[in-house]
């Protein structure tokens, strides 16, 4: 397994995102993913599947200490006491004493200082080994790093070939944060992309595998989501080839000004 290092923390480069996975499907996919070699599982309060993630981990037979588990606090739980309470509730569902990484799911600029302090407190009292943010803009990364009493280790954002995240990548690099990419295969939209198919043919790989390798070569963690066991095997089979500089540039060239697939009305404007 390849790792991305951020502020002294090693995060597995390929993980399983569990958004939209529910009930037994979620538990089964998590179990199979871990048996195949995945060691990074991403969930969230908003996904309503933390309990099933925990079940899948225990069913896999993989030791808890060998798995990097991330969960995220939803925006309605950002007040200090509420953040602590909801995180403890997440741990009860997961049946874990702590998570490896606790994130703020979406930014809340109006309460940034207060919320970052609460997030740091969750780490200080042992609810999480590490803390970070998700969907933060460049400006919000700068502010969060400045006001947070504990070091942050990542910003989790949408990132795929159709969305230029250069500014966010550079901000993360400045502060030694890992960039974690959700929707790394653009929710399946890349499967018919002719450039990705052509590059894939040269390596005997699928467009999805090309996307994931492209992210890995930028030192980005990818957390693709799937409900199909066969896709799990495909997504993790990206360690046996390397994209050339020219191929990387070709993929960077796919980005457009309207490539974003996920957004919420309360989210601030992106940089």
CATH number for the domain harbouring residue 32: 3.20.20.100
For residue 269, being part of any structural domain is answered with no
Q: Strands 99-104 and 68-73, how do they pair?
A: parallel
Domain extent for 155: 3-252
Contact 98, 128 (CB under 8 A): yes
Distance CA 147, CA 207 (A): 40
Distance CA 208, CA 197 (A): 9
How high is the pLDDT of residue 270?
Answer: 40
- Closest to 56 in 3D by CA, of 72, 74, 38, 78: 38
For residue 125, being part of any structural domain is answered with yes
Tell me the pLDDT tens digit for each residue of 32-79.
Answer: 999 999 999 999 999 999 999 999 999 999 999 999 999 999 999 999
For residue 94, being part of any structural domain is answered with yes
Distance CA 21, CA 37 (A): 19
For residue 165, being part of any structural domain is answered with yes
Contact 49, 73 (CB under 8 A): no
Token pair, residue 175, equals 């502060």
Instruction: Please tell me the chain's helix, strand, coil percentages from 3-state DSSP, rounded to the nearest 5.
Output: 45, 20, 35
Q: Across the chain, how many H-helices and E-strands are there?
A: 10, 10
How high is the pLDDT of residue 265?
Answer: 57
* Relative orientation angle of helices 112-124 and 138-147, to the nearest 10 degrees: 60
- Closest to 13 in 3D by CA, of 134, 127, 154: 154
For residue 261, being part of any structural domain is answered with no
Query: Per DSSP, what are the bridge partners of residue 4?
Result: 11
SS3 category, 69: strand
Distance of CA 69 to the CA centre of its chain: 10
| Count of structural domains, the chain | 1
For residue 265, being part of any structural domain is answered with no
Which stretches in the chain have pLDDT values below 50? Answer: 266, 268-271
For residue 267, being part of any structural domain is answered with no
DSSP string, 8-45: TEEEESB-EE-TT--HHHHHHHHHHHHHHT--EEE--G
* Residue numbers annotated as active site: 47
How high is the pLDDT of residue 111?
Answer: 66
For residue 268, being part of any structural domain is answered with no
Contact 184, 160 (CB under 8 A): yes
How high is the pLDDT of residue 271?
Answer: 42
């Amino acid at each position: 397994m390849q790792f991305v290092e951020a502020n002294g923390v090693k995060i597995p480069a390929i993980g399983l995102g569990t958004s939209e996975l529910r009930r037994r499907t979620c538990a089964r996919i998590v179990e199979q993913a871990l048996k195949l070699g995945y060691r990074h599982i991403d969930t969230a309060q908003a996904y309503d599947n933390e309990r099933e993630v925990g079940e899948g981990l225990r069913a896999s037979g993989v030791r808890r200490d060998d798995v990097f588990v991330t969960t995220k606090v939803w925006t309605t739980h950002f007040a200090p006491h509420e953040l602590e309470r909801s995180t403890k509730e997440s741990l009860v569902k997961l049946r874990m004493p702590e998570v490896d990484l606790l994130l703020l799911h979406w930014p809340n600029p109006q309460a940034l200082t207060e919320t970052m302090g609460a997030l740091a407190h969750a780490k200080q009292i042992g609810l999480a080994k590490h803390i970070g943010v998700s969907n933060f803009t460049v400006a919000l990364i700068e502010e969060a790093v400045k006001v947070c009493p504990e070091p942050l280790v990542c910003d989790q954002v949408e990132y795929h070939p159709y969305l230029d995240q250069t500014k966010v990548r550079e901000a993360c690099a400045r502060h030694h944060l890992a960039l974690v990419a959700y929707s790394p295969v653009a929710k399946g939209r890349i499967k018919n992309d002719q450039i990705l198919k052509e590059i894939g043919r040269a390596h005997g790989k699928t467009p999805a595998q090309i996307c994931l390798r492209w992210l890995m070569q930028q030192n980005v963690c990818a957390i693709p989501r799937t409900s199909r066991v066969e896709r799990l095997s495909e997504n993790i089979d990206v360690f046996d080839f390397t994209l050339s500089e020219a191929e990387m540039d070709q993929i960077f060239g796919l980005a457009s000004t309207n490539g974003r697939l996920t957004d919420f009305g309360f989210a601030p404007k992106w940089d």
